[in-house]
Structure 1
C-alpha cells in the first residue's frame, strides 16, 4: 500500500467517514482450498493482507508513523507464541 493511498484513506476518515465503516470494508476470506493443498498458506496470506494494510492505515490515522507500525508488527510476529498470546489477550480486554 502506498503512502498516497494511506493519505487518501486518512483524509476520508478525518473528513467524516465512520471508522467502524472503514474497518468493515475488509473481510477475511474463507479458505478456498483444502488443508493439504500446497498453496494453502499462500491462500491464507492473500486473505489477510487487506486487513493488515487496513490496520496500518488506521494506526497512521491515529498518529503513528508507518515505520513504527511496521516495526511493531514485525516484533509481534517474531515474539514467542506465549508472549504474543498474552499481549493479544491484554489488547482485547
Structure 2
C-alpha cells in the first residue's frame, strides 16, 4: 500500500519507477550507498528521494509512522490514480493535476470541490476546472458543466519553399493571431503584460536552444 501511494503521489514524474525502486530497496534493508551505486545517483540524492517519500506517506520509511502527518492529498492521489493520464490525454499540462489535488485537499471531497466550482466558476484556473469536470464525468457518468472550449485557430500551411526569403515573415504572420489570443487569455487570467512578454521570451529562448547544436549559445 505504501509503494502504491508513492507511485500515485509521483504521478507524471518520469523517474517514478526509479524512485519507487529506491524506496522498495531501502525498505528491504539496502543502504543509501548501495542504492546510489545501483541507480547511478549520489548518496545525497538517494537520501533526498527517500526522505521526500517518507514525508509523502507520513513516516514509516526513515521515521516512525504517524498517520496524523500524512497529507490527505496522497490519499486522494490513490483514490484517483488515473488523473495524471487523464490530464495527459486531454493535453491539460503536467502541472494541472497538482493544482487539482491541491484544490481537492482543500475541499475535502470531490463532491464539495465540484459544488464549489459550480458556485464560483471563475475562482479556479480553466485547466484545473476542466480536469475536475473530467474526473467527475468518469466517476459519475455525467458532466457537471460544459467542456472547456479549445482554441479553434487554424494555422495555414506555408506557401513558399524553405529557402524563400519571405518564409520567415510568412510564418510570423501565420502565428500572430494565435499568439494574440494566447496573450489575451493570459491577461484575462490575471497575468500582466510584462509577465506575459517575459514568459514568451523565455519560452522562445528555450525552444531555440533545443534546436541549436550542442555547445552553441542563443542570441541575446
CA distance in 1, matches of 2:148, 2:165: 37
- C-alpha distance 46-54 of structure 1, shift in aligned 2 (>3 A): same
CA RMSD of aligned residues (A): 2.2
Deviation at 1:39, TM superposition (A): 0.8
In the TM superposition, what is the alpha-carbon distance from 1:36 to its structure 2 partner? 2.0
User: Using a 3 Å threshold, how does the CA distance of structure 1 residues 66 and 47 change in structure 2: closer, same or farther?
Assistant: same
Matches within 5 A, 1:1-93: 20=149, 23-24=151-152, 26-79=153-206, 80-81=209-210
Structure 1: stretches of 5+ with no match in the other structure: 1-13, 83-93
Q: Distance in 2 between matches of 1:34 and 1:41?
A: 11
CA shift at 1:27, angstroms?
1.6
Greater percentage in helix: 1
Shift of the 19–62 alpha-carbon distance from structure 1 to 2, 3 Å rule, reads farther
Higher RCO, Cα 8 Å, sep 6+: 1
Q: Please, which runs of 5 or more residues in structure 2 have no aligned partner?
A: 1-121, 123-146, 212-220
Structure 1 match to 2:217:
none
Give the TM-score normalised by the residue count of structure 2. Answer: 0.26
Query: Using the alignment, how far apart are the partners of 1:53 and 1:81 within structure 2?
Result: 24
Q: How many residues end up aligned between the 2 structures? A: 64
